[in-house]
Structure 1
Amino acid sequence: LCKGQVLRGYVPNGTLFPTWFTMGPGQKKYTFPEFTVVVMLDDVQVTYYDSNMKHFIYRGHNTSDKIHEDEAQDGAYVFRIMYHHMKERYFHLKHHLNLTEGVQVQQRMAGCEMFDNGEPALIMTKNTFNAVFVDHAIYYNMTHFTYDAGQLLQGWDGMRQLQEKILYENVLLTLCIRTLKTILERERRTKRFLEGSFQVSCLAFGFYPRHINMTLLRDGQPVAEQELTGGEVLPSGDGTYQLRKSLEVSTEELKKRHNYTCTASHLSLDNKLDVSWESGTERVHLSTLSVLLVMLLVLFYWAFSFVSKGGCKASVSIPHSK
């Protein structure tokens, strides 16, 4: 479970992105699940779960890896707690905001961090409702628990505060750190096999509505989905969405000087958007780089954001070694 940054003194942290959709009475049901969870490590999706499938799908670098039974049970238990909390919060907000119909979207970012010696550092949750901040809780230093009810909810009394502290300290933090260690070890094993490879990534963000078509092309031909990691549309927390697709490229493939193109179409775009990069256009001295820099050297970063009138902007950057 992880978050998209690395802090000094910490290993990569874990973040969940559960989303809960609700509809008013009599409305047609949508095909997307009511409750979805995406688990990420360093901005890379590693696990997916939703209320339709009711089981985990591993989406890390090695997609042949399976979710073990104990991991599945831990996750199901935590997600039931999350679902209960989000449902409780929805009824409070529905009454407070006088909502009677329409699709309501509730989002939660939940994550844990641990020190480089493997000891837990903190666990936190942050909730939004229809892209508006609702509340935030954090347990840190193995002693301190704080809760910010925001402007839309009532604060907890002393008994509820104690109950939540016990839950975070003895259940949620323990399960989150255990899962984080498991996923870290799995990804580290995979990284050893991928040594000397590179990553090409397409990232689209800031778009609404959530439906988007994005394809990674190699010499004009679509790359098979089973070769890619990521691919799930994720909420951004501000009412818009993001999507990332990544491809591992070996040094042998890089020598073939393939042309990689990210192509996307969306309702807010008048025309299809294409952004390309050709391998071999940058001078690379592989012998002087560490494995980490090798992994980042030809990172192809494409990002575009949509504005209200349907315009967009795109950028391409290739990190260099120092």
Structure 2
Amino acid sequence: MFFLTFVILVLRLKRWRILNPVSTHSLRYVYSGTSGIPDFPEFVAVGLVDEEQFVYYDSRNHRMVPRVEWMEKSEGKDYWDRETRKHIGWEQVFKNNIEVAKKRFNQTGGIHTVQQMYGCEWDDDTGTTGAHCQFSYDGEDFITMDFKTMSWVAPVRQALTTTLKWNSDKAYIESARNYFSQECIQWLKKYLDYGKETLQRKARPEVSLLQKDSSSSAVSCYATGFFPKSIVINWQKDGKEIHDDVETTELLPSGDGTFQIRSILRVSPEDLKNHQFSCVVEHVSLDEKIDKPWIAAPGINLLPIIIIVCVAALLVLAAVTAVAGFLGWRSKKKCKRINCGFCF
């Protein structure tokens, strides 16, 4: 029960400004802390480049380690020692913050979580950059950085004290500005270069249109086996793009290093008969768009696709365990700043 709840909390954090979805690259870190949960690390930090995990730290091993071969080969002992020291400090910050939050919400026992996500994006076509930084408590927004005004915003009254504290520290605000506008982008480009054979490879999507049966009001467009993850899927009706009655599912890993996604068009059987519908896919691996027209084919068996999607969903659940939290306790050590926030 807790595991499924924790999945939801992590997914709630996945909201930030996306640049051009076809050519954008991203570097982000997800930190998680919990209280009241036995047999989990007290603190976990995960780093991701283009949504691929490349570094990992937890409070059991107290060591930042590589998760991909290209990262292990590219950085030496000094890098891993430095990152380990930083994350040991951040571990203490989280242990402090979860206790502070519990007091502000008048809570004692039970399961509670503090999560943070921060990072940057870079569009390698236009050079445009973006950034994101946010905290949640028990799965709800707690405090977020507004990068237009370079100030912290609190959606709940329990975070107002933190907002006033952080916004009054002008030196920290300026440090955060420099990190997100320059340093984070520089590290992102460096990591992309390290893993270019993996991260910058291109795999074409396979596109198929399926309908459960002829009486169903939904037609699904599946794009599978593509890399990198950024992809655009649109539906057209008689050659004109449509957006109503369209639902796109969460991007999922396929288990072989590629991704898959599904876009669902809900339309009446009469419309399917009287109009021409097609699914249009754009991806960096394609010289031109894939335009897949819908041709009625009753009696298609969706079982193989369902199995694939279910397996991919299980992989996502397994990956989410990498951002499990910690059993909270108050740290008496001095609270250290981090690139995006410090003590509540």
Tell me the TM-score normalized by structure 2: 0.48
Alignment-derived partner of residue 152 in structure 2: 147
Indicate conservation of the 8 Å contact 2:64/2:84, yes or no.
no
Greater fraction of residues in helix: 2
Indicate conservation of the 8 Å contact 2:30/2:45, yes or no.
yes
| 1:60 paired residue among 57, 68, 72 | 68
SS of corresponding position for 1:166: helix
What CA distance in whole angstroms lies between the structure 1 residues aligned with 2:111 and 2:49?
Answer: 30
Question: What whole-Å deviation, never above 9, does each CA across 1:145-191 have from its counterpart, x for those lacking one?
Answer: 12112212123158634143033134566543333122211221335
Larger RCO, structure (CA 8 Å, separation 6 or more): 2
Indicate conservation of the 8 Å contact 1:92/1:153, yes or no.
no
Question: What whole-Å deviation, never above 9, does each CA across 1:35-54 have from its counterpart, x for those lacking one?
Answer: 11111222222222212222
Larger radius of gyration: 2
Alignment-derived partner of residue 7 in structure 2: none
Pair 121,74 (structure 1): closer, same or farther in 2 beyond 3 Å = farther
Instruction: Give the count of matched residue pairs.
Output: 213
Whether 1:18 aligns to 2:23 is no
Alignment-derived partner of residue 130 in structure 1: 138
Alignment-derived partner of residue 266 in structure 1: none
Indicate conservation of the 8 Å contact 1:4/1:42, yes or no.
no
What CA distance in whole angstroms lies between the structure 1 residues aligned with 2:104 and 2:78?
Answer: 39
Percent sequence identity is 17
Pair 125,43 (structure 1): closer, same or farther in 2 beyond 3 Å = same
Shift of 1:126: 0.9
What CA distance in whole angstroms lies between the structure 2 residues aligned with 1:12 and 1:19?
Answer: 23
SS of corresponding position for 2:195: helix
Alignment-derived partner of residue 256 in structure 2: 247
Whether 1:176 aligns to 2:161 is no
Letter of the 1:16 partner, please give it.
Answer: Y
Indicate conservation of the 8 Å contact 1:20/1:107, yes or no.
yes
Tell me the TM-score normalized by structure 1: 0.51
Question: What whole-Å deviation, never above 9, does each CA across 1:75-131 have from its counterpart, x for those lacking one?
Answer: 346535644543443233111112211232211111112353897834331111111
SS of corresponding position for 2:20: coil
After the TM superposition, which residues 22-41 of structure 1 pair with which residues of structure 2 at under 5 Å, given as runs? Answer: 22-23=35-36, 30-41=38-49
Give ranges in structure 1 of 5+ residues lacking alignment: 24-28, 200-241, 250-288, 307-322
Indicate conservation of the 8 Å contact 1:3/1:43, yes or no.
no
Whether 1:166 aligns to 2:174 is yes
What CA distance in whole angstroms lies between the structure 1 residues aligned with 2:166 and 2:39?
Answer: 41
Letter of the 2:24 partner, please give it.
Answer: V
| 1:302 paired residue among 306, 309, 326 | 309
SS of corresponding position for 2:102: helix
Indicate conservation of the 8 Å contact 1:123/1:138, yes or no.
no
Indicate conservation of the 8 Å contact 2:97/2:114, yes or no.
no
Alignment-derived partner of residue 110 in structure 1: 118
Pair 163,291 (structure 1): closer, same or farther in 2 beyond 3 Å = closer
Give ranges in structure 2 of 5+ residues lacking alignment: 1-13, 207-250, 259-281, 291-304, 315-344
Shift of 1:134: 0.7
Question: What whole-Å deviation, never above 9, does each CA across 1:199-237 have from its counterpart, x for those lacking one?
Answer: 9xxxxxxxxxxxxxxxxxxxxxxxxxxxxxxxxxxxxxx
Whether 1:7 aligns to 2:28 is no
What CA distance in whole angstroms lies between the structure 2 residues aligned with 1:124 and 1:77?
Answer: 24
Letter of the 1:7 partner, please give it.
Answer: L
Question: What whole-Å deviation, never above 9, does each CA across 1:241-293 have from its counterpart, x for those lacking one?
Answer: x99573259xxxxxxxxxxxxxxxxxxxxxxxxxxxxxxxxxxxxxxx99824
Letter of the 1:302 partner, please give it.
Answer: V
Shift of 1:135: 0.7
Alignment-derived partner of residue 342 in structure 2: none
Greater fraction of residues in strand: 1
Alignment-derived partner of residue 55 in structure 2: 47
